[in-house]
A and B are shown apart, each in its own frame.
Chain A
Amino acid sequence: MGGLYALMSIGISLSWGALKIINLAHFSFILLSAYIVYQLTVSFEVDPLLMVLVVAPLFFMLGVLVQMFFHLAKVDEFKSLIVTFGLFIIFQSVMQTIWSADFRRIGPVLNPYETQSFFVAGIAFQLPQLVAFVVALLIAGGMWLTFTRTYFGKAVRAVAQDPEMARAFGIDSRRVAVILSGLSTAFSALAGVFIAIGQTMFPQLAVAWFGIVFPIVILGGLGNSLGTLTAGVIIGVAAGVSSVLWGPLSAPLVTFTILIVALLFRPEGLITKRSIA
C-alpha cells in the first residue's frame, strides 16, 4: 500500500515545495483520473493499465491550465488553500453528479490485475500495489536525479527558493512552474490509474485521503520526492499493520499519531538534506 500512498503524495508535495501552492484539488484529480480510467475501461473494454497513456498527458494539460490560472490570478501560498479548496468542492460535486454516490469497481473480466499476487519472503503482495510501488520508486528516483543533475532541476530549485531572483538570472520561472504543475498533476493521475485497478471508488474517497496523504507529505519533507516515498512506505506499513490488528477503521488514528509525533520531534521532515525549498 505504501507505494500507492507515496504516488498519491508526490504530486502534492512537489507543488507545495516548489510552487508554494498547497493544491487540495490534487485529491479530486486523483479520483477524477480513477473515474476516467474506470469509464474508458468499462465503455471500450480495454486494458486499464493502457489508460496511463491517455490519462497522463490529459492531466499534464490540466495541471498546466491550472497553473496558468494561478499565475493569472496571482495566487499565493495562503490564498492557494482557499482557492484549491473551492476547486476541490467543484470537482467533487461534478464527479458526484456524473458517477453518482454509488460504489464503482472495474469488473474482474476487464481487470485481470486485481486478483494476481506475488509472494516475496512469505508476504503476499497484490500486483497493482506492487506495480504502484515500482512506479513511485521510478518517479521519486527520476525526480531526484532531475533535480540534482539537470539544468531544469537547477532551475526548479532556484525558482523554489526565490522566483524573483531566478527570473533576474534569466530563468523563465513561469514556464518552469507550469511544467512542474503539469508533472505533479500527471503523477496524481498515475495514482488514479492504480486506484481504479485496485480499489472500489466512490466520491467521498477523496476526502478520506486527506488524513493519510498530508502526514506523508509533511513527514517526507516538502518537495522531497525520495523522502515522500520513504514516508509513504512507513505510513503505508503502519496503516496496514494497524488494520490487521485493530480493524481498518483505526488506520487514520495511527497515521495521525505518527504525524503528531513527527511534528513534535522532526518538524522539518524525515530527510532534510535534499529538500527543494
Chain B
Amino acid sequence: MSARVRALVGFGAVALILGFAPNMQESLEFPRFYLIFLFTMFFWIAQASSWNILTGYSGYFSFGQGAFYGVGVYTVGVLVVKQGWSFMTALPVAGLLAGLTGLFLGLVVFRVRRLTGEIFALTTLAIAFVLASVARLSPSIDGGTGIFMTGTPLPGFLGEFTTAAYRLTLAITLITVVVAYLIHDSRLGWGLFAIRDDEPVAEGLGVPTFRYKMVALGANALLAGLMGGVWALQLGFVTVDDVFNIRVPLFVILMSVLGGMQHWMGPVIGAVIITTLTDRLNSAGLTDVNQIIIGGMLVVLALAVREGVYVRMRRRWVTTAVSFFGVLGLARLLDLNDSLISDFAYAMVATVVMMLVPDRVWARFGELFGRSHPAEEPIGAEDLTRTGP
C-alpha cells in the first residue's frame, strides 16, 4: 500500500469511529457535552484547514475566512428559512456561492500582477464588511432583523437532530482535511509551495501561478462556505454582527500559526489545541480575558515558532510524547479535575510550552545530556520555514 492509500484508510477509520461515537454514548456513559465539544472542534479543524489551503500553501495571507463562512451561513439561512428549501439542497448552494465569492475576489486581485500579497490581505479584510453591509441592507437576506434557524428538518438516516448535525460537521471536516492532504502532495501543492517561496521564479519555471492561486482560493472559499452552511444549523439565531465579525479569521489564523502553516496537519493540531483551551477558559469563567490571551498568544507564537508546533513536534517526538502523555497520566492519577477535557488541556499546554523552547537553546540542552544533535536541524530547514510571496 502506498503512503497515500494508507493515509486515506486512516482518515476513513477515524471518521468511522467518530461517526458512531453518538451511538456508543449510552453504553460508554460519557457526557453528552463531549459530543458538542467535538462538534465545535470539527468546525474549527475544517475552517483552519481550508484557510491553510490558500494561505499556508501559497503564502497569500487571507482575512477572508469570515466572509466565506458568512456566505455559507446566510445562504442556508435564507434558502431554508425564507425560501423553504430542504437543507440538503441548500448546503451545496451555500458552498458554491461562497466559492464564487472567492473566485470573484481572486479575479480582481490576482489579475493585477504588480499587486503584493499585502494588498490581497487587506482586500480580503475589507470584503467581510462589504458583505455585512449588503446583508444588512437587503431585506431578502437579513435586512437587519436576523434569521431564526430553529427546527430545520434533516434527513432521517443521520439520526436525531444533534447527532445528524454532528455527523454532517464530521463529514465536511473529513472532506476538508482530505482535500488539504491531497493538495499537499500533488502537483498543485508543489506549485503553490513554489509560489510561496518565490512567485516570479515559480512563474519563470512554468508554474501556472494565476490558475493555481485561483484553484486554492476557490477550494478555500467553497469548503469554508460548506462548513458555514452546516454551522448555521446550531446557531439558532443568525445576525449580521455575529456572523461577519473578526472572530473566524482571528481564530483560524491563530490555529494555523500555532500548528504550522506548511503542513496539512498543522492547522488540525492548532485547532484541536485552541478549541480545547478556549473551552476550558470559557468554562472557568474567563471569557473576558480570553480575547487578551488569544491576542497575546498570536503575537508570541508568530515571533517564537515560525514553522509551527507540528514541525517541532515531529523533530522532538520523544519530548512530545513524554510531556503529553506524562502530564495527561499525571492529571488523571491526581484526579485534579473531574473533566477529561481539562486533563487534555493541561497535557497540551505542557507540550506546547516544551515546543516553544528555541532550537538553539534546545540543541545546547541536548549536549548537556551527552547527545550530539545532527537530527535537530535537518538540511533544508531554512526552506521549510520560508513564508510569504
**What residues make up the interface of A, taking CB atoms closer than 8 Å to B?**
16, 22, 73, 75-79, 81-83, 85-90, 92-94, 96-97, 204, 207-208, 210-211, 214-215, 217-218, 246-247, 249-253, 256, 259-260, 263-264, 267-268
A-B contact count (CB 8 A): 120
Among B111, B130, B136, B388, chain A packs the most CB atoms within 10 A around the CB of B130
- Residues on A with C-beta less than 8 A from B136 are 249
Counting CB contacts under 8 A, is B129 at the interface?
A: yes
Counting CB contacts under 8 A, is B309 at the interface?
A: no
Is B126 in contact with A215, judged by CB distance below 8 angstroms? yes
Is A78 in contact with B387, judged by CB distance below 8 angstroms? yes
Which of A77, A249, A260 contacts B118, CB < 8 Å?
Answer: A77
Is A93 in contact with B292, judged by CB distance below 8 angstroms? yes
- Residues on A with C-beta less than 8 A from B123 are 214, 259, 263
Report Cα–Cα, A208/B246, bound state, in Å: 11
Say whether, besides A88-B295, A93-B295, A22 and B118 are in contact (CB < 8 Å).
yes
Instruction: State the majority secondary structure of interface residues on A.
Output: helix
Shortest Cβ gap from A72 to chain B (Å) = 9
- Residues on B with C-beta less than 8 A from A96 are 288, 291
Is A260 in contact with B108, judged by CB distance below 8 angstroms? yes
**What residues make up the interface of B, taking CB atoms closer than 8 Å to A?**
61, 108-109, 111-112, 114-115, 117-119, 121-123, 125-127, 129-130, 132-134, 136-137, 241, 245-246, 250, 253, 257, 288-289, 291-292, 294-299, 302-303, 387-388
- Residues on A with C-beta less than 8 A from B250 are 85, 89
Is A83 in contact with B302, judged by CB distance below 8 angstroms? yes
- Residues on A with C-beta less than 8 A from B298 are 82-83, 85-86, 89
| 10 sampled A-B residue pairs with Cβ under 8 A | A22-B121, A78-B118, A90-B291, A204-B241, A210-B129, A214-B122, A214-B126, A259-B126, A267-B115, A268-B114
Is B253 in contact with A85, judged by CB distance below 8 angstroms? yes
Is B133 in contact with A249, judged by CB distance below 8 angstroms? yes
Say whether, besides A83-B303, A215-B126, A256-B126, A90 and B388 are in contact (CB < 8 Å).
no
Which 7 residue pairs across A and B have the least CB separation, nearest first? A86-B298, A89-B295, A90-B295, A93-B291, A78-B388, A86-B299, A211-B129
- Residues on A with C-beta less than 8 A from B302 are 79, 82-83, 86
- Residues on A with C-beta less than 8 A from B108 are 260, 263-264
- Residues on A with C-beta less than 8 A from B61 are 78, 81-82
Is B122 in contact with A267, judged by CB distance below 8 angstroms? no
